[in-house]
Amino acid sequence: MSLDAETLARLALEASRIAVLAGAAILQVYDSDYAIEHKDDRTPLTAADLAAHRVIEDGLRALQPAFPILSEESAAIAYAERASWSRYWLVDPLDGTREFIKKNGEFTVNIALIDGDKPVLGVVQAPVTGVLWWGYAGGGAFRREGESTAPIRTRKPVSPLTVAGSRSHGSERETQMLGRLGEIEKLALGSSLKFCRIAEGTADLYLRLGPTSEWDTAAAQCVLEQAGGAVLTLDGQPLRYNTKDSLLNPDFLACGDASADWPRRLGVIA
């Protein structure tokens, strides 16, 4: 199957439809009393995660049964098997479970298509607001709110820089690195919404130190890259997927201006 722009556009349309259905399943739980379980790593798991997982898995298997699916809720797939995959769906049915539990609305549905080690299609849907972001290789990035759809592009950095950051994570090291940028305005957001704000040109940078998983970043990385930005490891290389046994990402930064030498400005590279 050729993943040309026309094919990716069709897959993005269908993946967007699936993400919206998953978001609706999440909202059914969000508006009810729900039980919280914990995974082996003690991160919270709700009925909403599982409901969205089922919707997405069923939808993607019907859409393109030849592509394997790696989801946060089915992550126990050995690298020996994953290493043979040339293309696969990478899914986080509910990114920002802690934000879901806090009832602040800052959680998303993430669906990405990985080709080799790169995300070539990404869909991010915010169930509470209904806003949908998507992008695909060769086609650009888009934002849909209600009946309005428009292409999105990143912006050149403006002063003071708007730096997106997590509501649930942070560190002294992060504070020190960001301090090298001069005056900044912090934008606290949950889930992959941080990438999307950079992609649509309302934020400039997101620095993430500490563990994230590949399904947390892939869909939003594609949206951001197709909008003109980048997601880079701290040595300046693009963040890549399915290259090792662990599904944890290294430290990274997401930026709107891919030409700026962010690792040097942050003091990571001398």
The contacts of residue 153 (CB under 8 Å, 6+ apart) are 141, 201, 227, 228
* pLDDT confidence of residue 38: 60
* pLDDT confidence of residue 82: 95
**Contact (CB, 8 A) for 67 and 57:** no
d(CA 139, CA 227): 10
For the stretch 11-47, pLDDT in tens is: 999 999 999 999 999 999 888 876 566 655 545 567 8
User: CA angle 48-49-53, nearest 5°?
Assistant: 115
* pLDDT confidence of residue 45: 65
Please tell me the total number of residues recorded for the chain in this structure.
270
Which domains occur in the chain, in start order?
5-151 (3.30.540.10), 161-265 (3.40.190.80)
Among residues 138, 165, 105, the alpha carbon closest in space to that of 225 is found at: 138
Virtual CA dihedral for 150, 129, 219, 147, nearest 10 degrees? -30
Q: Is the bond into 160 cis (omega within 30 degrees of 0)?
A: yes
For the stretch 189-207, pLDDT in tens is: 999 999 999 999 999 999 9
Look up tokens 């969205």; give the residue: 52
Two structure tokens written together for 134: 């998507």
Among residues 219, 7, 227, the alpha carbon closest in space to that of 126 is found at: 219
For the stretch 51-98, pLDDT in tens is: 999 999 999 999 999 999 999 877 779 999 999 999 999 999 999 988
For the stretch 106-154, pLDDT in tens is: 999 999 999 999 999 999 999 999 999 999 999 999 999 999 999 999 9
* pLDDT confidence of residue 98: 85
Mean pLDDT across the stretch 1-12? 93
d(CA 138, CA 141): 10
* pLDDT confidence of residue 197: 98
